[in-house]
């Protein structure tokens, strides 16, 4: 991968709408593709649950001939940290069990990618970044590398790389690339939100507009709420999000970051131009986020009408798209690239880099 050393394409004139196909630096060719085959959704062949099932199969086999090398805990109870420790530890049988699950998962992941690459919207893809929670582990990184080798062996020449930023940060950092440059002028930070089926995360994304490589963003403050433990209603979830954002606004102003009056939101599902969710939000807290009578951007602008003395503007897009946008500085050497996020499901998006108006 090569970082961009040229100026951003953010001067390109693009319409400001939620879920837009034309963004300042890229065209979103496809996202949230619900590709199916005879077995159902293709993406279900490569998600966190798939890996756990592979691990269960090998543990069951081990128990038939002796003791489970991974102990008594269920596979879905083993944290990424614990799995990585087993992989690197002195218990060779435990390491081999985890490696076997990685191999089986990689075989399935390679088949899933091959099916996506046959889609017209994914044709000629040169590189795919892999994100999501599974990527944030040694197991995930090995699975990504092994999958790429399997694709090579099948005659498919494509780069498969882990996303550069931590997946949790990437889901916030990508929001910068939803905004045209003029909206960020004179500011050093924006607020960003990443909403998932288990957690809701809000953060302050700082950037340096004097740097060429897309402002060198970083998450300086963030607030995490595991809403799956609380099982709130939709309205209670929005109220909690508003509280998180107000607290972050106060911290940004106290740190004299001059936050831009914009909030970027990453959210599962198909996002309509008006900010409503067409479908795909069924796992969000309280449900019914795709109701015709609910609009999250409008609700946030009503609750937080101003930031740093200016009217608040909210921009929302699909969560896989936003996580993919965090990779823009590292995709300057290719034209067509994609993102796959391995979590509860398999998020997906495909991009084409745009030429700047200056050529």
Assigned superfamily of 166-326: ATPase, nucleotide binding domain (3.30.420.40)
Given a cut of 90, whether residue 55 has pLDDT beyond it is: yes
Q: What percent of the chain has pLDDT over 70?
A: 93
Closest among 73, 40, 77 to 346, alpha carbons compared: 40
Hey, CA dihedral for 171, 264, 173, 162, is it positive or negative? positive
- Assign 281 a pLDDT band (cuts: 50, 70, 90): confident
Phi-psi region of 287 (alpha: psi -120 to 50; beta: other; left: phi over 0): left
pLDDT of residue 260: 93
For residue range 135-157, what is the model confidence (pLDDT) as tens digits?
A: 989 999 999 999 999 999 999 99
**What local confidence, expressed as pLDDT, does residue 280 receive?**
83
**Integer angstrom CA distances of residue 254 from 203, 258, 259, 286:** 15, 9, 11, 33
Q: Mean per-residue pLDDT for 242-265?
A: 94
pLDDT of the residue at 277: 93
Q: What is the pLDDT of residues 313-346, one digit of tens each?
A: 999 999 999 999 999 999 999 999 999 999 888 9
Tell me if 208 sits within 8 A of 226, measured CB to CB.
no
> Could you tell me which residue, 4 or 159, shows the higher pLDDT?
159
pLDDT at 1: 40
The pLDDT value recorded for residue 13 is: 53
Query: Per-domain residue ranges for the chain?
Result: 37-162, 166-326
Three-state secondary structure string covering 33-63: CCCEECCEEHHHHCCHHHHHHHHHHHHHHHH
Is residue 40 very low, low, confident or very high in pLDDT (cuts 50, 70, 90)?
A: confident
Are the CB atoms for 166 and 136 separated by under 8 Å? yes
Backbone phi and psi for residue 29, each to the nearest 5 degrees, phi listed first? -75, -30
Dihedral class, residue 95 (left if φ above 0, else alpha if ψ from -120 to 50, else beta): alpha
In whole angstroms, give the CA distance from residue 29 to residue 7.
23
């Amino acid at each position: 991968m090569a970082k961009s050393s040229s100026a951003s394409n953010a001067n390109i004139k693009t319409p400001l709408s939620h879920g837009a196909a034309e963004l300042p630096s890229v065209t979103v060719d496809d996202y949230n593709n619900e590709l199916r085959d005879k077995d159902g959704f293709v993406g279900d062949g490569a998600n966190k649950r798939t890996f756990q099932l592979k691990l269960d199969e090998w543990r069951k086999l081990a128990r038939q001939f002796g003791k489970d090398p991974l102990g008594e805990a269920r596979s879905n109870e083993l944290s990424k940290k614990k799995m990585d420790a087993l992989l690197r530890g002195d218990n060779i049988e435990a390491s081999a069990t985890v490696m076997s699950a990685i191999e089986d998962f990689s075989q399935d992941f390679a088949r899933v990618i091959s099916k996506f690459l046959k889609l017209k919207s994914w044709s000629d893809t040169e590189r795919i970044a892999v994100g999501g929670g599974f990527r944030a582990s040694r197991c995930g990184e090995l699975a990504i590398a092994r999958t790429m080798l399997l694709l090579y062996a099948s005659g498919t020449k494509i780069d498969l790389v882990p996303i550069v930023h931590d997946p949790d940060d990437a889901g916030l950092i990508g929001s910068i690339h939803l905004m045209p440059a003029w909206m960020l002028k004179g500011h050093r930070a924006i607020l960003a939100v990443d909403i998932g089926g288990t957690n809701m995360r809000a953060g302050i994304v700082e950037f340096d507009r004097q740097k060429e490589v897309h402002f060198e963003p970083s998450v300086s403050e963030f607030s995490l709420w595991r809403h799956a433990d609380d099982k709130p209603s939709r309205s209670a979830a929005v109220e909690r999000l508003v509280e998180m954002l107000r607290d972050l606004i106060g911290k940004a102003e106290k740190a004299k970051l001059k936050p831009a009056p914009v909030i970027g939101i990453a959210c599962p599902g198909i996002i309509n131009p008006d900010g409503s969710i067409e479908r795909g939000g069924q796992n969000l807290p309280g449900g019914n986020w795709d109701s015709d009578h609910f609009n999250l951007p409008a609700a946030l602008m009503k609750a937080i009408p101003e930031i740093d003395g200016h009217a608040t503007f909210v921009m929302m897009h699909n969560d896989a798209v936003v996580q993919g946008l965090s990779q823009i500085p590292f995709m300057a050497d290719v034209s067509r690239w994609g993102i796959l996020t391995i979590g509860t499901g398999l998020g997906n998006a495909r991009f084409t880099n745009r030429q700047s108006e200056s050529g």
